[in-house]
Amino acid sequence: MVLSRITIAALVATALASPAVAQGAFQAAPSGPVAGGQISPEALYQGWRSRQVIGGVVHRPNGDPVGTVRDLIIGADGRIAAIVVEGGGASGVPDVVYRIPWDQVGLTPGRDGVAVNLAGSRNDPRYRLFQGTAEVTTAPREYRLTEIIGDYARLQTGYGFGIVTDAVFGPEGHLIAILVSRDAASGGGTYAFPYPGTTGRWEPQASYYGLPYVTDRQAAAAGVRIEPQRFRNSSM
């Protein structure tokens, strides 16, 4: 069914007036540094991007290979709780998937992948084996980063602003910002927005990533249009 602009506008107005929307995903953003402030470019470019780790090799401190990073598990406090590692089998078919606590992971600037300080073998039950990356369980209010990568980033009105393409983390594994890319018709570019946490107007289980802005002009003004070459350890 094709809707006219007038019909669409009426539907949006009705949705915004409904209690379910007013109290849910599109609730008006509270005031504060996350909702109204712009993330510090200095803090942003001191961080590292998830794409620098996901897909990278995992090795022990002595260089022995362990597997490949397939995902990052984010806790309710916005910090990485663990990484999801896939071990290689014959002919490139994965033979094991498990999570390794973040406190046993070390970034390796200037080298490919990450180092893990495993106390035992990769089959140690403490590392919780799984049938596949989609089967890795998470604690309450934890989520896998790949659950939101590729999601539409929506404004409070429900209109799309762009696509979530990456995330930026601080040196200690704290999620600093979500990166949203726009298509050429919308002006292009990738914008960094402060991570809001898992409370309020958005939940990781939603089918979209909620931005606390009403218009695309507000969102573009609040976000930092990134310069990829400025990221620290960009070759990691």
Lowest-pLDDT range of 69-73, 200-204, 213-217, 223-227: 200-204
- Domain coordinates of the chain in residue numbers? 25-47+145-230, 50-142
CB-based contacts of 170, cutoff 8 Å, min separation 6: 43, 46, 47, 176
Q: Do domains 25-47+145-230 and 50-142 have the same CATH topology?
A: yes
pLDDT band with cut points at 50, 70 and 90 for residue 62: confident
The secondary structure of 98-160 as a DSSP string is EEEEGGGEEE-TTSSSEEE--SS-TT-GGG-EESSGGG----TT-EEGGGTTTPEEE-TTS-E
pLDDT recorded at residue 215: 94
Q: How high does pLDDT run on average in the chain?
A: 74
Q: What is the pLDDT of residue 109?
A: 59
According to the model, what pLDDT value does residue 9 have? Answer: 39
Average pLDDT over residues 176-189: 94
Question: Is the pLDDT confidence value at 7 over 60?
Answer: no
CA distance 211 to 153: 6
Residue 126 has pLDDT above 60, yes or no: no
Q: What is the CATH number of domain 50-142?
A: 2.30.30.240
pLDDT for res 120: 56
Q: Is 127 left (phi over 0), alpha (psi -120 to 50) or beta?
A: alpha
H-helix segments, the chain: 5-17, 19-22, 33-36, 41-45, 216-222
What CATH topology corresponds to 25-47+145-230?
A: SH3 type barrels. (2.30.30)
Residue 6 or residue 206, greater confidence = 206
Cβ atoms 152, 25 nearer than 8 A: no
Q: Pick 222 or 135 by higher pLDDT.
A: 222
Residue 187 has pLDDT above 60, yes or no: yes
Instruction: Inform me whether the pLDDT recorded for 21 exceeds 50.
Output: no
The stretch 171-186 carries a mean pLDDT of: 93
Does the pLDDT of residue 210 top 80, yes or no?
yes
